[in-house]
Structure 1
Amino acid sequence: MGSLEQSIFFRFLSLLLSLPLIIEYPHAYAHSCEPVRCDTGYGPLIKFPFRIKGLHHPRCGYPGFDLYCKDNYAFIHFPLLGRDVIVERIDYEYQTLTIVAEKNCLWNLLFTSSNFTSSRINPDSWTLHTLLNCSKKGSFVEEYVNPISCLSDAEHEALVVFGEDRVGSLPVSCRPIKTISVPRLYPFNLNLMSATQLTENNISEYIYFGGDGDGLNLVWYVPGCIDCESSGNNCGYRDNNSSETLCLPPPPRPPHKGSKRQHVIIVSSMGTLLLLTSLVITIKFYCYWKSRRQLDLENENEVEKFLENYKYLKPIRYSYADLKRMTGQFKEILGQGGYGCVYKGILSNGTLVAVKILKSFDIDGGEFINEVGTMGKIHHVNVVRLLGFCADRLKRALIYEFMPNESLEKHIFSKSSNDCFLGWEKLQNIAIGIARGIEYIHQGCDQRILHFDIKPHNILLDQNFNPKISDFGLAKLCSKGQSVVSMTKARGTMGYIAPEVFSRNFGNVSYKSDVYSYGMLLLEMVSGRQNTDITEENTSRVFFPEWIYKRLCQGEDMGLELQTDEDAHIAKKLTIVALWCIQWYPVDRPPMRSVVHMLKGSMENLTMPSNPFISSLSGNKDTKNSCITNLSVIPE
């Protein structure tokens, strides 16, 4: 298993093992405005307009009404004292909260704070709070008198009185110590929802001071939330910049006691099922990896065994590191296709090469062995030369001689035909060279080699535009006396595959299948376009072979760019030879030796072949006969 496959496997395994945790906590963050307490079962319930920083969404509370939890206590920042204080109680019905100081007396901090004025001026927006020390403890029932136990002792009692005019009604044993002025905002005047901005620096403008023992009562007022909360929902703000409230649904209730056992059973069953599924998939992955690894080892051994027998032939074996050096870390790409990518390289002796890196899907090494074994036996001027190869475990590559003019496809299918057109005489020489190359692999080797993928892309051109056949990955070897080749599946490229390769109703697969592919290639050289062109505006020219056959039979112009009579002579000869090669039945096609003779011979000795497209014409047999009355026999 490669590093990529291992990474995918372990990530998938981790995902499977984490599924029970994902199932167990599906609502962990679904309800960000859910009321909470800092101490489970104790302490004030914290909900709108307050929120816990880091737990609740900002819309769950008003800015400045942020609380945080520490040591099971809820804290809020109180700007008038410049410190954080403990929130002891929150009464959402009367909209009050009681705060106390941590490890100190809150009232002592208030009366000693520099944030309050001791002025006797009492404007409408301020109220006076007077601290008194009473030497005689008594029972004070006035609602404006608040005993402060944290400042009192056994002999003295500290009181806070709200309002200057009420101090005189107290006993003479109570002596004023200090009077401070604090903001005064009554609940029925306070409207947080009309505020455009509220920060912790001016929170005091929105609270009302009241006494409650050692604590200090603060009052807030938020209209619009009473009806929402009375219906069992949670109140919140639409966003931080808006005072519009939202009514949010409450979190789902936990299952009641009667269904707790059932809930546990369901969760346990799902967890067990997921665990078993994960285990089964893990085992299957392991078995697959083990069998794949065993298959890889067998294939590597098979390739190594082949290369051991092949080492006495001329091509050199290179390592993958050698390929990196000769290609400069695969810097310049020449082309790519279904087989892989081709890179430009240079050998240590200065020879330019083309390095074809095979894709990993050829795991069994079949095409690699096929091409190395086949091309190692071929030595012909019209067949590309294999200079070396690489078989570094599953990294495989083929090193060929470099062809500076690339493939024939580039020159015959180019849109800028004026710049890339080779000329009719050169096209004829290329056609003859290709035919000689195919004739050689059919007759010139110890064994007959059938290419099965003759097409413009696989014809390379050297610096002098001499053609060389390449890519023998689909090739098949057979004895010269063997007239029929067995095949389990079709080979080749659509548009160039002979009919018998698809269906045995047209005959047996043989070397004549390469002849058909060559004929289709020859017609594309003549037309400068693919034989089947659905973009052709003239619908009768969509399939060029049939169209050109009709034109020749009727003696009409071929519709090609021909400058001289010699050009017309060559174009007509190439077309007629191609039509011979693409005959529907293999027995009607000439062998490549005859094709070479026809290309090199005189036009006057050529006759039109029978119509391979008769089934798609009008069905008039006279049309066929008028074209083939002077047919001569093409020798095998």
Structure 2
Amino acid sequence: MGSRFFALSRWVWIVALLVVGLSGETCNAKDDSTKCTSSCGNIHYISYPFRLKHDPKHCGNVMYTLSCENNITLVDLPPSGKYYVQVINYHNQTIRLVDPGLQNNNCSSMPQNFPRFLRDPYSVYNISGYLISTPVFYIKCSNPVNSSLYVDTAPCLNIDASSLVQQKTYSYVKVGVMEVGDLNEGCSAEWLALALLSYPKGHNTSYESVHSALMYGFDLRVSWPDEIAPICQGQWSSNLKCFPHTIPGFFRFLCEAIYVFFSRGRVYIDNPLWFRAISIRRGWVPLICFGLFLSARLIFGVPCLIAFVIYKWRRRHLSSYSIIEDFLQSDNNFLPIRYSYSEIKKMTGKFKDKLGEGGYGSVFKGKLRSGRFVAIKLLGKPKGNGQDFTSEVATIGRIHHVNVVQLVGYCVEGLNRALVYDFMPNSSLDKYIYTKEENMPLSCKKMYEISLGVARGIEYLHQGCDMQILHFDIKPHNILLDENFNPKISDFGLAKLYSVDNSIVSLTAARGTMGYIAPELFYKNIGGVSYKADVYSFGMLLMEMASRRKNFSSMVERSSQTYFPLWAYDQYNKGNDLEMGDFNEEEKKIIKKMVITALWCIQMKPSDRPSMNKVIEMLGGDVECLKMPIRPFLYPQEMHAGDVQENNLNSIGSNGELTWTLSAR
């Protein structure tokens, strides 16, 4: 018995000595860690809690490790990247950094890192929760911006003016926090940097001064090791213990907190933004228990309620798209490919290259596996049970014509709907009709060839298919141009299919774009709605192609030219040429042929307009063979009483004259 007691005592002493020895080593290591100093480049006396990567293991704290490369001190802040260390202020507990992408005396250099979320020990906020450094937003705009909030980056970032005009983008920076309304329409924030810079609103400054401030650097607050709790990445932290971000882990975290309330009255709480020690008194225990009860109800009750609401909402909306699924499944001969939404996201690189936006939604550039480029129209909120989607798919799903855009595929997945088209590198026709540039890429002859292509495409829709397709939205924005400037009719969201035998169609409401809508869609007694509505829209388009301006414009020298079709008619009727630019005789004949053909197309009464087949003959023939039509009217009130009864007009607005003036914009 005694020998066993002696042996046990001996082992107890050995263990005690080991514990004391290890404790002593730990204490000495901590003490030694505060005595180490090192240097790198201009940063001298790097000391606790900082350390260099190659310093002895007992030096500093591993969380504050710096590196020395080419005699330059760097700090790595994942996931942002590496920064140059300029100054370490041990008194204020700050560290000043500079982005390595910036170059002195080169204001065209830009930051290469994007400041992202920072975990301890570094923070962009001071102890009081205020920003130490000022954010600097790099902004790109499609149009010039005149705002005291924006600082123009020219000439630093826009050195080549010709490339700027070609790209049609303008670069600015916004100094300070981005508030609601600070980002102008047509502008997007592309990059973010930090700087020690501040100036009041309305104060004029230059980008050179902003760049100088960026070169000076920005400050981050450093939390010393005794200020932060243990690092529990992705977990709850309480009382120097870590708990997983799960429901059981959360309750274990709460139990640990309750234990601390009764034992020490102090708990360390970890959240993704701050590590703070919160002191809690025992007198608060009843309040804490009540809070735990409410928390439990929130944890279990609110998610269940949200899930129920989402379920009901999805059921209601998904049922409204049954017409789309019924349409797609009922047609076994449907040619376009059906893609999943994940495939659409992959094609577009998660929708990073945006081509345009409109009332229908947004268009993004995509790429198929074969390498073929496509334009993907991501449809927004549907109209009328998804008939805009089915209209577009049904009308062009089987169409194969050189002047109609090709539908490659589509996506219907829950609330997500998308249409995949061939990519048109030269965008839409409106960018060439209304441009103010002197070096026009489209000559008068090329514009004439485009008008012929559009006419052939519309004629095919009217007569070339088993069903008569009325587009109802012919306008410059919906005429796309391929790499050879061949026109393609697009956007069939308003289109309707009718039997070829039907000369008159029924519509419950006017459809189209103001300025191109045929008058019979407003005034019912002029005549029935038919394919002549597309003829009228084409006439307004053809007139703009010939004149290179909008048909209705107040920005003209003489009031007689406000509505171009009337002015052009009067000039030709007097035997004069149109004075619109420096054109040769051949070009003047082309313009005259286009204008006279357009004047026939925009006649007030549908019966006075030619068919698209006749329009193609007029455009392809000699201008000398064309006769002038009657003078076009702006509104039916100008017509003779025998042509239309004024008292029975049924227009959309209360004032018919105002309605038609708007439509002629």
TM-score, normalisation: structure 1:
0.51
Give the 3 Å change call, closer, same or farther, for CA 550–618 of structure 1 in structure 2: farther
Query: 1:410 and 1:420 mapped to 2: Cα distance?
Result: 11
Within 2, Cα distance between the matches of 1:307 and 1:510? 28
For the Cα contact (< 8 Å) 2:426–2:483, is it kept in 1?
yes
**Kept after mapping to 2: 8 A contact 1:412/1:421:** no
Matching of residue 580 in structure 1 with residue 600 in structure 2 = yes
In the TM superposition, residue 421 of structure 1 has moved relative to its aligned partner by: 4.7
Tell me the amino acid that sits aligned with residue 403 of structure 1. M
Correspondence 1:174-193 to 2 at 5 A: none
Are residue 351 (structure 1) and residue 366 (structure 2) matched? no
Match in the other structure for 1:520: 540
Distance in 2, Cα, partners of 1:606 & 1:574: 10
Q: Which of 528, 548, 552 is residue 508 of structure 1 equivalent to?
A: 528
Equivalent residue, structure 1, for 2:504: 484
* 1:442 CA drift (Å): 0.1
> Equivalent of 2:447, from 423, 427, 431?
427
Q: How far is 1:419 from its partner?
A: 2.4
Aligned counterpart, 1:132: none
Task: Please tell me whether residue 379 in structure 1 is matched to residue 400 in structure 2.
Answer: yes
Aligned position for 2:611 = 591
Structure 1 contact 450–477 (Cα < 8 Å) conserved: yes
Q: Which residue of 2 aligns with 1:25?
A: none
After alignment, is 448-457 or 611-620 more displaced? Answer: 611-620
Q: CA, structure 1 residues 620+452, in 2 after alignment: closer, same or farther (shift >3 Å)?
A: closer
Match of 1:494? Answer: 514
Higher relative contact order by CA 8 Å / sep ≥ 6: 1 or 2? 1
Q: Is the 8 A contact 1:412 1:420 kept in 2?
A: no
Residue of structure 2 equivalent to 1:390: 411
- Distance in 1, matches of 2:637 and 2:595, equals 19
Cα distance in 2, alignment partners of residues 580 and 443 from structure 1: 20
Q: Indicate which of 315, 318, 321 corresponds to 2:339.
A: 318
Per-residue displacement from partner, 1:179-225 (whole Å, max 9, x unpaired)? xxxxxxxxxxxxxxxxxxxxxxxxxxxxxxxxxxxxxxxxxxxxxxx
C-alpha distance in structure 2 between counterparts of 1:291 and 1:618, whole Å: 55
Counterpart selection for 1:602 from 606, 613, 622? 622
Q: How does 1:229-244 map to 2 (within 5 A)?
A: none
The answer to whether residue 459 in structure 2 is matched with residue 439 in structure 1 is yes
Report the secondary structure of 1:439's partner residue: helix
- SS of equivalent residue, structure 1 residue 302: helix
Deviation at residue 297 of structure 1 after TM alignment: 2.8
Aligned match of 1:453 in 473, 498, 507?
473
Separation in structure 2 between the aligned mates of residue 619 and residue 591 of structure 1, nearest angstrom? 22
Q: Structure 1 residues 303, 601: closer, same or farther in 2, change over 3 A?
A: same
The amino acid of 2:398's aligned partner reads K
Deviation at 1:394, TM superposition (A): 1.1
The 3-state SS of whatever aligns with 2:366 is strand
Report the secondary structure of 1:404's partner residue: coil
Equivalent-residue separation in structure 1 for 2:532 and 2:638 (angstroms): 28
Higher-Rg member (1/2): 1
2:327 aligned to 277, 282, 306, which one?
306
What is the CA deviation profile of residues 442-498 of structure 1, one whole-angstrom value per residue up to 9, with x for unaligned ones?
000000000000000000011111101000000001011101110011100000000
Distance of aligned partners of 1:620 and 1:557 in 2 relative to their CA distance in 1, 3 Å threshold: farther
Specify the SS of the correspondent of 2:377. strand
Helix, strand or coil for the counterpart of 1:382?
coil
Task: Give the equivalent residue in structure 1 for 2:431.
Answer: 410
CA change 1:358–1:421 in 2 (3 A) is same
Worse-matched range after superposition: 557-566 or 290-299: 290-299
1:489-515 CA deviation, whole Å, 9 max, x = no partner?
Answer: 110000000000112111100000000
Using the alignment, how far apart are the partners of 2:635 and 2:378 within structure 1? Answer: 44
Output the CA distance in 2 between the equivalents of 1:364 and 1:349: 34
Q: Name the amino acid aligned to 2:434.
A: F
Whole-angstrom distance in 2 between the partners of 1:378 and 1:619: 40
Q: Structure 1: which amino acid aligns with 2:346?
A: R
Structure 1: segments with no counterpart, 5+ residues: 1-284, 622-636
Alpha-carbon distance in structure 2 between the residues aligned to 1:457 and 1:614? 23
Q: 1:293 to 1:466 in 2, by over 3 A?
A: same
Match of 1:569 in 2: 589
**Offset of residue 360 of structure 1:** 1.8
Distance in 2 (alpha carbons) for counterparts of 1:592 and 1:541: 28
Alpha-carbon distance, 1:517 to partner: 0.1
Which residues of 2 match residues 152-167 of structure 1 at below 5 A?
none
Pick closer, same or farther for the CA change 1:489–1:294 going to 2, 3 Å.
Answer: farther
Are the aligned partners of 2:389 and 2:493 in contact in 1 as well (CA < 8 Å)?
Answer: yes
Compared CA separation, residues 335 and 311, structure 1 to 2 (3 A): farther
Paired position in structure 1 for 2:357:
336
Could you tell me which amino acid in structure 2 is paired with residue 587 of structure 1? S
The answer for the alignment partner of 1:533 in structure 2 is 553
Partner amino acid for 1:367? D
Measured against aligned partners, the alpha-carbon deviations of 1:260-280 in whole angstroms (never above 9, x if no partner) come to xxxxxxxxxxxxxxxxxxxxx
Aligned-residue Cα RMSD (Å) equals 2.5
The 2-side partners of 1:388 and 1:615 are apart by 42
After the TM superposition, which of the residue ranges 554-563 and 586-595 deviates more from structure 2? 554-563
Q: What SS is found at the alignment partner of 2:321?
A: helix
> How big is the shift at 1:301?
2.1
User: How many Å apart are 1:345 and its aligned residue?
Assistant: 0.6
Q: Secondary structure at the match of 1:357?
A: strand
Counterpart CA distance in 1 for 2:311 and 2:581 is: 62
Aligned-partner SS, 1:328: coil
> 8 Å contact 2:378–2:418 — kept in the other structure?
yes
Cα pair 2:335 2:398 within 8 Å, conserved: no
Alpha carbons of structure 1 residues 616 and 440: separation in structure 2 relative to 1, 3 Å: closer
Q: Which residue number corresponds to residue 467 of structure 1?
A: 487
2:381 aligned with 1:360, yes or no? yes
Cα distance in 1, alignment partners of residues 336 and 400 from structure 2: 12
SS in 2 for 1:551: helix
Residue by residue over 1:263-315, the C-alpha shift from the partner in whole angstroms, topping out at 9 and shown as x without a partner, is xxxxxxxxxxxxxxxxxxxxxx9999898655423223221121112353221
The one-letter code of the counterpart of 2:499 is S
CA spacing shift, 1:399–1:555, aligned 2, 3 Å: same
**Cα offsets for 1:203-261 (capped at 9, x unmatched):** xxxxxxxxxxxxxxxxxxxxxxxxxxxxxxxxxxxxxxxxxxxxxxxxxxxxxxxxxxx
Do the aligned residues in 1 keep the contact of 2:318 with 2:415 (CA within 8 Å)?
no
Is the CA contact (8 Å cut-off) linking 1:296 and 1:363 kept in structure 2? no
Alpha-carbon distance between aligned partners in 1 of 2:473 and 2:317, rounded to the nearest angstrom: 28
Instruction: Read off the aligned partner of 2:502 and give its amino acid letter.
Output: Q
Task: Indicate how the Cα distance of structure 1 residues 404 and 615 shifts in structure 2: closer, same or farther if over 3 A, else same.
Answer: closer
- Which amino acid counterpart does residue 533 of structure 1 have in structure 2? S
Tell me how far apart the structure 2 counterparts of residues 582 and 376 of structure 1 sit (CA, whole Å).
30
Aligned length: 336
Report the alpha carbon displacement of residue 368 of structure 1 after superposing the two structures with TM: 0.4
CA drift of 1:535 comes to 2.3
Partner Cα distance (2:399, 2:334) in 1: 11
Do the aligned partners of 1:451 and 1:476 also contact (CA within 8 Å) in 2?
A: yes
Which whole-Å CA distance do the structure 2 matches of 1:433 and 1:370 have between them? 23
Aligned residue identity for 2:568: I
- Which residue number in structure 2 is paired with residue 204 of structure 1? none
Question: Structure 2 stretches of 5 or more lacking a match?
Answer: 1-305, 642-665
